Structure 1
Amino acid sequence: MNSTPRRILLAATAILGAYVGIWAAFFPGSFYDAFPGFGLAWVSVDGPFNEHLIRDVGGLYLGLTAASIAAILARTAAPGRVVGLGWAVFGAIHYGYHLLHLEGSAIDIVGNVVSLGISLALGVLLALPARPVVVTPVSAAPAALAAPAASVSEATR
């Protein structure tokens, strides 16, 4: 079964993916100059503007967003785990690059490392198997659970 916590994690990836994806795919110049917003600029410090590359990044994020939304709607956990694997692989490579290329102010570096770390962690958490549901068979139930039934039968004698 697809649990509520898994759906919440998937929703977080969908929101993250939509934020980055829509901005990069449809407004690449603005994305280059002003991503992630809030007065910070993380992309322009890394080299010259490349519209093709930025739109491709937007497409990648929108693809992950679509997969996250589909997994939210799934009845089982398996699609969410597969989507999590995709986010984790992408996140590990993306995070690794930025750890090796720390650029910008201290606020930029911390923001970059924390936000990309969260993105990676979401993917890893989603890829983990669901906790198994343990069902105790009635025959293995403790005697205390069976006691009320015995007392009822004794009362009817």
Structure 2
Amino acid sequence: MTAVKRVALALSAALGLFVGGWATVSPRGFYDAFPGVLGHWIDLDGPFNEHLIRDVGGLYLALAAASVVVLVRRSAWAPLGAAWTVFGVLHLAYHATHLGGFPTVDAVGAIVSLAVSLALGIVLLVPTRRPAEAVAR
């Protein structure tokens, strides 16, 4: 596994733990204040729904757990990349088409942060040549 993939995995795990942990431990706080210093984005998109926020927290924690396992075992990064990428595409697509009511700086911040998350998943999908293959070529 390349250093780039290890960094992508570590950042994906950190992202999942941050978002998932916050949403799971404090659903109302997550709704009211996410992402924190960058503004507040969740409450601009509709009324509070604890069930939805806890489900999102569980999803992010599951992806974080899988990222940690792959980081430690150094295997199965492609299926994990596929999971992060599918989630990233759908998550970005939703938010890109639902920015009404967002101040410009928050809209840009949301789209950039979601694009970075998607890019991390894509990095994990890129095949890595094995050392023996690299030498043979």
Cα shift readout 1:94-133 (whole Å, capped 9, x = no counterpart): 0000111113101110000000000001101111111343
Q: Please point out which of 110, 128, 134 is paired with 2:126.
A: 128
Structure 2 residues without counterparts, runs of 5 or longer = none
After the TM superposition, which residues 10-89 of structure 1 pair with which residues of structure 2 at under 5 Å, given as runs? 10-38=9-37, 40-76=39-75, 79-89=76-86
Which of these two proteins has the greater Rg computed from alpha carbons?
A: 1
2:63 matches 1:102: no
* Structure 1 runs not aligned, ≥5 long: 138-157
Q: Is the 8 A contact 2:84 2:121 kept in 1?
A: yes
| TM-score (structure 1 length as normaliser) | 0.81
Return the alpha-carbon distance in structure 2 between the equivalents of residues 39 and 91 of structure 1: 20
Secondary structure of 2:23's match? helix
**Equivalent position SS for 1:135:** helix
Aligned length: 134
Question: Greater relative contact order: 1 or 2 (C-alpha under 8 angstroms, separation 6 or more)?
Answer: 2
TM-score (norm 2): 0.92
